Amino acid sequence: MFHNEAAFVELSDRLGNWATQMAARFGSPVYLTGSCMMIAEPRDVDIRCIIEDDAFIRRYGDINDWCKGCWLPNKHDGSLRYAADMYALSKEIAEVHCLNIDFAVQPIQIARQFKDRPKHRIDKLNIAELKY
């Protein structure tokens, strides 16, 4: 699973308080995912908050637009809100911890595509994990 257990524990601890704030903000668990779970020196640290599809739609608009890569400027208000939110949240935690953070909120519909990949929950809230 994780390439270096000691580094993984240290990273989880460093990001835990911020992840807990994100879990409270979005009402869903927060996970370490991606290459930081598998290689010694990943390019970035992928962090995902998986939310219900309807919650995603209320915040950011149609999932199908998002799935097609349509989250570009001037597409619609939801895409601009999504891009601004993810940029600001990633930048905030990256600056605090001097890490290249890729934070994203994903609807279940998207997360389902990656369900067999390793992930580790890092928030400290007592929120049930979503089934997908």
Strand order in the sheet with 30-33: 101-107, 45-51, 30-33, 119-121
What's this model's pTM, rounded to 2 decimal places?
0.81
Buried b / exposed e along 7-28 (16+ C-beta atoms within 10 A): ebeebeebbeebbbbbbeebeb
For residues 117 and 83, what is the distance between their CA atoms, to the nearest angstrom? 24
Which tens digit of pLDDT belongs to each residue from 4-40?
666 667 777 788 889 999 999 999 999 988 887 777 7
For residues 118 and 127, what is the distance between their CA atoms, to the nearest angstrom? 20
The CATH T-level fold of domain 5-121 is Beta Polymerase; domain 2 (3.30.460)
